[in-house]
Structure 1
Amino acid sequence: MARAIWLVLDSLGIGGAPDAASYGDAGADTFGHIAAACAAAARGPLRLPNLTRLGLPHAHALASGQVAAGLAPLPAAQGQWGCMIERACGKDTPSGHWESAGVVLQQPFGLFAAPEQSFPPELLAALIEQARLPGVLGNCHASGTEIIARLGAEHIASGKPIVYTSADSVFQVAAHEQHFGLERLYEVCHLARELLAPWNIGRVIARPFIGEPETGFTRTGNRHDYALAPPGQTLLDAVCAAGGEVFAVGKISDIFAARGVSHSLLASGHDALFDATLQALARAESGALVATNFVDFDSVYGHRRDVPGYAAALEAFDARLPELMAAMRAGDIVVLSADHGCDPTWPGSDHTRECVPLLAWGPDLAPRALGRRGSFADLGQGLASHLRLPPLAAGVSFLED
């Protein structure tokens, strides 16, 4: 039996979803706008030879209706390529990952929509009392880097953690690793996860940082997500039920609430995540799934609206793909996708509702166009069929239609 590798290029949207206007995202195009910015700059067009061979610009052209700037003419793709449309409402990390793994969210996550005084007073009062806090700071929509720059000094002086949210279904808590304490931050987030049950919030995120007011603050790699559990059986569950192993690299384990995970491999930064993926593949036996989320595309470049940084990260990721392909053996498959968009040219700092790529390659896989897929769940169903698992609850296998 073969192995499967699933790589999530977190936030790499490839053009507005059909319902993007309902989210205020008509015209958003993460990949297309990055390519256009590069082509217009002195640095020149995006250099993505390996992703191009797999079919990324082809999938973008299918989703957006035009070839990305600087990438025409497109060569014949050597992988299987297409685009996917999310069926679930929203544009957040859990719903995108869960649907890709075969569980389509039927009820949208709750949101804290008010830009200021975002959280219900009773929620904050309970958190302050039960966590024995002197109070909280923030209580608003904010960028994670901006709010620690603005409130970090007051946080250190007062001992009050910083709480904030966004257009996504999140309750985020930022605190200094030394002055507040990393384990203390995790305890507060664990309690917040329990208190948030009535609001159906997808994730509580611990956002630790270091530094001093005189020199500035920097977020660390000790982020931890406390997600709701998927409301159904995922591809990860199915692999484990069949006796296979799931290697969850990066924040995959957090996103699936550690369910269906045999081994969790933590790493910070794309190179470390790629190294951990190769290490997991070296350990993986037949029937195993290796799943990796490359979070920096989203958290470091997309949310911070850093177009040059996002472009450089894509090129660095592309340059390492041959290592992975060389480590694969007959019968293996690697699938690349995303969970939503985060267009770095778009107003604000939130995710964008976009189509995402579906790229597949394997030593024995014949190249072909996969078309426009009606659900992210087609990815999970395809990997389930590849691993000879029983069909998942949602999706049409991209390998068999």
Structure 2
Amino acid sequence: MGRRAIILILDSLGVGYMEDAKDYHPQDVGANTFSHILDKVPSLHIPTLEKLGINKILQHPNLTNKNNIASYGICHLMHQGADSFEGHNEIMGTKPKRAYLAPFIENIGEVKLALEEEGYKVEIPRPELPYLLVNDLVIVADNIETDFGQIYNVSAPLDYISFQEVLKIGQCVRNHVKVNRVIALGGENVTPEHLRNSVERREDGLVGVNSPKSNVYKQGYQVRHLGYGISPKKQLPTLAVKAGLQVSLVGKMQDVIYCEGANKFPGVDTDQVMQDVLSEMDHVQQGLIAATVQETDLAGHAQNPIRYANRIEVVEKYLPTLLEKMHEDDLLIMSADHGNDPTIGHNQHTREKTYLLAYHKQFIPVNLGERNTLSDIAATAAEYLGVKNIENGTSFLPYMTNSN
């Protein structure tokens, strides 16, 4: 049995606002997702997280400071804002690049020309509602479900065009714009006419497909997020596959991290995600198991601390079994990707530092301090697995091994 790294991310479980929030995200000053959930739900029962050492980080009066069995610390976000996609790619070793904010209308001409040069038929069928229609089927426009000018969607009716072809169109768009993300997506049982009739103008002027109204999510939904300046080839999962190791991506992790050759286990339900992690611990002999619990983040968006606490308790329920299943050569790293404080007064992500717990049966626990980037997680797992050439991050493995 070889070495295994298990990375478990509880989406949005931040532990205090970043210092730079004062300048860039004043609405997030005062945010502390984990502590505020403990304030609101004093009955939150997390003995295994306490045993690992969570209260070495939180210092919360509702928790007892038991002897910690894991090394502990805090990670700062290197990406701008507080974004799940960018946060996860940073966790996997990408150095965040500064993207540009621009409504699609600012890039529509250049993208139209680029697609035409690749042989596509491209029209702007309704100049008063400007979007691109590619080959009479695919709509390129703003994403109207997110922040202004951050994301463009490439939406398609998959009964009429393959998702591979949609991805090609998405890649062409990606190559000619510098916004944070281009999302290629589509669904079955959607007519091209219905897709076109779902285009709307938002109050702030953005024009795009109303995705829920378009029915793309209902049947045969496929999606790929194409990030700005993100190269999977320099990320932990792809490098691990190239090194001949097994890689399993579970839950939201497989939505936002692209890795050819990984085993993928989609799932939103927290019980399902944790069960898949335990199941993969029975199957992966040597390599990486990386999972994300998404329902914590959904509870944050719903501004529901009771639901959030309940999802943490579901994870807690599985942690004793996870620790029991760990081999002598397993390294467990737990963290988050940003914050989403359900008590802060708005329903968006909060720019927060994340907790860091790293457990190995052979290592004496140490204080890992404040890390500059989430990429230190990937750098550490990479060093542990003997994987080289990760783009970003500094391994904290030497701190854990030197104390032994």
TM score, norm. by length of structure 2: 0.75
**Residue number in structure 2 paired with 1:234:** 235
Matched, 1:85 2:76: yes
**Could you tell me how far 1:368 is from its partner in structure 2?**
2.0
2: CA distance between counterparts of 1:182 and 1:46? 47
Aligned match of 2:13: 12
State how far apart, in whole Å, the 2-side matches of 1:50 and 1:186 are: 43
User: d(CA) in 2 for partners of 1:369 and 1:360?
Assistant: 10
Q: 1:381, 1:391 within 8 Å by CA — same for their partners in 2?
A: no
The aligned residue for residue 259 of structure 2 is 258
Q: Which amino acid aligns with 1:109?
A: A
User: What is the match of residue 35 of structure 1?
Assistant: 38
In structure 1, how many angstroms separate the alpha carbons of the residues matched to 2:386 and 2:138? 54
In structure 2, the partner of 1:102 is 93
Maintained 8 Å contact 1:336/1:358: yes
Q: Could you tell me whether the CA contact under 8 Å between 1:301 and 1:309 is conserved in 2?
A: yes
Counterparts of residues 358-369 of structure 1 (less than 5 Å): 358-369=356-367
SS at match of 1:164: coil
Q: What stretches of structure 1 move > 3 A for 4+ residues in a row?
A: 121-128, 131-137, 167-175, 180-197, 205-210, 216-225
Distance across 2 between alignment mates of 1:98 and 1:302: 21
CA offset digits 1:113-151 (Å, max 9, x no partner): xxxxx65376594755227479999x78xxxxxxxxxxx
- Check the 8 A contact 1:96/1:339 in 2, yes or no: yes
**When the two structures are aligned, how many residues end up with a matched partner?**
348
Taking a change above 3 Å as real, the CA distance of residues 356 and 4 of structure 1, as seen in their structure-2 partners, is: same
Question: Where in structure 1 are there 5+ consecutive unaligned residues?
Answer: 40-44, 62-66, 113-117, 141-162, 211-215
Distance between the aligned counterparts of 1:358 and 1:322, measured in 2? 18
Q: Distance in 2 between matches of 1:70 and 1:182?
A: 54
CA 1:135–1:101: 2 relative to 1, 3 Å? closer
**CA, structure 1 residues 205+23, in 2 after alignment: closer, same or farther (shift >3 Å)?**
farther
**1:317 is matched with which residue?**
315
The CA deviation at 1:188 is: 11
Letter of the structure 2 residue corresponding to residue 294 of structure 1:
V
Deviations 1:15-65 (A, max 9, x none): 0112122222221111111111113xxxxx321111111122322x3xxxx
Tell me which residue corresponds to 1:397: 395
**In the alignment, which residue of structure 2 is the partner of 1:148?**
none
Identity %: 25
Structural mapping, 1:64-213, within 5 Å: 67-71=59-63, 73-105=64-96, 107-111=97-101, 119-120=104-105, 123=108, 125=124, 127-130=131-134, 132=136, 163-166=144-147, 169-171=150-152, 190=167, 191=169, 194-195=172-173, 197-204=176-183
2: CA distance between counterparts of 1:225 and 1:284?
25
Separation (CA, whole Å) in 2 of partners of 1:276 and 1:76: 29
Superposed displacement of residue 88, structure 1: 2.7
Q: Structure 2: which 5+ residue stretches go unaligned? A: 109-122, 125-129, 190-211, 400-404
Q: Report the Cα distance in structure 1 between the residues aligned to 2:395 and 2:257, rounded to whole angstroms.
A: 22
* Residues 91 and 377 in structure 2, CA contact (< 8 A), matched pair in contact too: yes
CA shift, 1:303, in A, is: 1.4
Deviation (angstroms), 1:10 = 0.8
TM-score by length of 1: 0.75
